[in-house]
Structure 1
């Protein structure tokens, strides 16, 4: 059965972007090393530290399906039809994807769902025994609040943004996580992994 992880790069004070969706220094660690990190589906490469590559590459390779919201889809233009991670992508949206985008990317392995619950169920079906990566922020927070997230992955960057898009979106309330089972210090980033306590 597929596992669902909520994951993102995050500031020390819990933000994944500024209010205008820009990431400022959060992604600097993607460009500060000499070891290639490759996103297989998109073909993107990033020169990161050897330590970060050794942690992130197996994670990216394990992702089968990514779940995002319509806002991220629109902000990134759906990554031009190539999932940032995994073989397929599920967009949570109440509107159909734009006709012009669909025409430009007829073979894009993208699916839509009308709710977080429906989207996670579809992603798990598509992923089989693989990993489902739900992006942090509003959609991830909804999935987390609904008890649909099994794991939390955070790439914590040593910066305080002060405001912006919260890692856990609008989630409120206490949820216990197990102790971190992975703590990896990269160059200007700390990789953390937790399992949600059931």
Structure 2
């Protein structure tokens, strides 16, 4: 399993986390999908790149990431848009025993059906189940 070189997230996640104070939560680079630029004065040396659109963000992530590492894409609207563009090869989920009464869809509004193979990685942790699924490519 390759490690993440670049992570792609949406502006909502970036804002909610205050940009992880300029330190990517995974990988060495972070690409933020946003129609707004990097906040003025915000961690000028942070390895964060602000790009308009999911396809452009993934192009930037490919440019930043070496071939021996993966590109991670956060769930939510950005993940759903990457699914819709056919750019997701694998889904990693961490399941914890918490049930919420409301919230956002895991992949936002995905307009079409996407099939996942049976999990090829299943790791049971302390109150967490780590799962990885390959995405079936449809003709």
The normalised TM-score by structure 2 is: 0.92
Q: Which whole-Å CA distance do the structure 1 matches of 2:132 and 2:101 have between them?
A: 23
Given the alignment of the two structures, is residue 163 of structure 1 paired with residue 102 of structure 2, yes or no?
yes
Name the SS for the 1:122 alignment partner. helix
Q: Which whole-Å CA distance do the structure 1 matches of 2:19 and 2:120 have between them?
A: 32
- 1:90-121 per-residue CA deviation (whole Å, 9 max, x = no partner) reads 010111111131xxx12111111110000011
Higher RCO structure, 1 or 2 (CA under 8 Å, sep 6+): 1
Name the SS for the 1:165 alignment partner. coil
In the alignment of these two chains, the number of paired residues is 136
Name the SS for the 1:80 alignment partner. helix
Q: CA deviation at 1:197?
A: 1.0
Structure 1: give runs of 5+ residues left out of the alignment.
Answer: 1-57
Match in the other structure for 2:28: 87
* Aligned counterpart in structure 1 of residue 17 of structure 2, from 76, 82, 85: 76
Moved over 2 A (4+): none
The normalised TM-score by structure 1 is: 0.65
Write out aligned runs for 1:95-114 (5 A): 95-101=36-42, 105-114=43-52
Task: Provide the aligned C-alpha RMSD in A.
Answer: 1.3
Structure 2: give runs of 5+ residues left out of the alignment.
Answer: none
